[in-house]
A = this chain, B = another copy of it.
Amino acid sequence: MTADLLIRNARPFGGPVKDLLIRDGRFVAADCPRPVAEIDATGHVALPGLVEAHTHLDKTLVGMDWFENRVGPTRNDRILADRNAKRELGINARRQSARQILQTLAHGVLSIRSHVDVDTEIGIANVEGVLETREAMRDLVDVQIVAFPQSGMLPREGTLELMDAALKAGADIVGGIDPATIERDPVRHLDAIFALADRHGKPVDIHLHEPGDLGAYCLELIVERTRALSLQGQVMVSHAYCLGTLDAPRQSALIGQLAAERIAVMTVGSPSAPALPLRLMRQCGLTVASGSDGIQGTWEPFGNGDMLERAKYLAQRNGMTNDVDLEESARICTFGGAEGIGLGGYGLSEGCFGDLVLVPARTLAEAVALTPHRRTVIRRGRVVVNGGELAGDLPAIE
């Protein structure tokens, strides 16, 4: 366990300046007399660790040769290109996940939920690779692994059994994928993944790109199964674009149903996909998390994994410019993410884990709007990033 650390003059979540003390890896009252190491935060905004609630650690090309993207426009084009790339580019899930983790650690990302491909070509090799990285990086970041049938489950026989094997090997969450447009049988797909989750006692996280009324129908099926299996607080729907395109009464009703079953929604705020009604979702008490999705991969060349920049994108996608709205965007990328992926001991209060990110900004809204990069990141009382630079004693990437 690291020594005590006192952070002077920080603004927790943009509030009034105060001192924060971390002892034995957790925040404690800052009035204790024991001598401690000190950092002067000089009034910077202190956030709890940023939460990456949806990415694909096993597929980033960070640090590899430039991938010339000539992939076609459909989701199936992309899935195929993605599967080919794993083979042809020799993407090493262990090494690539480590690269992304260190890159996003510099931004202050301390908790990650990653979907990891499971399919009949690679089996569970990517899950094993990310498990290795998780172990090597365990003192830096929490990683949750979703066993994710990217190439389809029902159409590719043996995938469900591989997902089962992935869970036995250490994956934490059962992944699902477009039950209608990819799986071609929403009831059978959802029945299978909920049964798998029930058998392992694991949460569920479903990629749901299905549009409009088809998406709404799939959401209803998810609600029904969450209720039947008493999985309240254990289910996340990722993307859920349909929520952005339904008419207002339908939208409200469906959001109300999701909230009632404590089903969380993850949105990346993509500029080219329907915008989710963030204000309405908040008013209805829905848990909203966010993520980068894949960064620098064959799907998209973009992305740096900075979840504070992600808060800015969420605000911009929704046309939000007020300080209050920017603060809510920051909340989605911190507390919302933590609740959505079920983190314990999260926050800046006494008793919580001693994790925080100091952002050189005068207010929380400024932190979101300008996303300054020279941040200091503390994990369990240990400074792991200082002014944007990774500490020298972190694990190397081989």
Contacts and interface: CB of A to CB of B under 8 A. Distances in A.
A220 interface: no
A330 to B, nearest CB: 13
Contact of A68 (B68, B301, B304, B323): B323
A326 interface: yes
Contacts of A365: 66, 68-69, 301
B323 A70 contact: yes
Contacts of A55: none
Interface in A293-335: 296, 299-302, 304, 312-313, 315-319, 321-324, 326
B316 A271 contact: yes
Nearest to A72: B322
A377 to B, nearest CB: 20
A70 B327 CA distance: 13
A13 to B, nearest CB: 16
Given A66-B363, A68-B365, A363-B68, A299 B272 contact: no
Given A275-B272, A302-B312, A317-B272, A296 B370 contact: yes
Which of A312, A321, A323, A326 has the most chain B CB within a 10 Å cutoff?
A321
A39 to B, nearest CB: 23
B272 A366 contact: no
A362 B321 contact: no
A33 to B, nearest CB: 36
A299 B317 CA distance: 15
Contacts of A304: 370
A316 B301 contact: no
Which of A68, A272, A275 has the most chain B CB within a 10 Å cutoff?
A272
A369 interface: yes
A318 B69 CA distance: 16
Nearest to A325: B69
A182 interface: no
Nearest to A322: B69
Given A66-B362, A366-B66, A300 B272 contact: no
A171 B318 CA distance: 35
B272 A318 contact: yes
A260 B22 CA distance: 67
A365 B300 CA distance: 11
Q: What 7 A-B pairs come out closest when comparing CB atoms?
A: A272-B319, A301-B369, A271-B271, A271-B317, A271-B316, A66-B362, A69-B322
15 contacts: A66-B365, A68-B323, A68-B363, A69-B365, A70-B323, A270-B316, A271-B313, A272-B316, A272-B318, A272-B319, A296-B370, A301-B326, A301-B365, A301-B366, A302-B315
Given A71-B321, A271-B313, 17 more contacts: A66-B363, A68-B365, A69-B322, A70-B322, A71-B322, A73-B319, A271-B317, A272-B319, A301-B323, A301-B326, A301-B366, A301-B369, A302-B312, A302-B316, A302-B321, A302-B369, A302-B370
Interface of A: 66, 68-71, 73, 269-273, 275, 296, 299-302, 304, 312-313, 315-319, 321-324, 326, 362-363, 365-366, 369-370
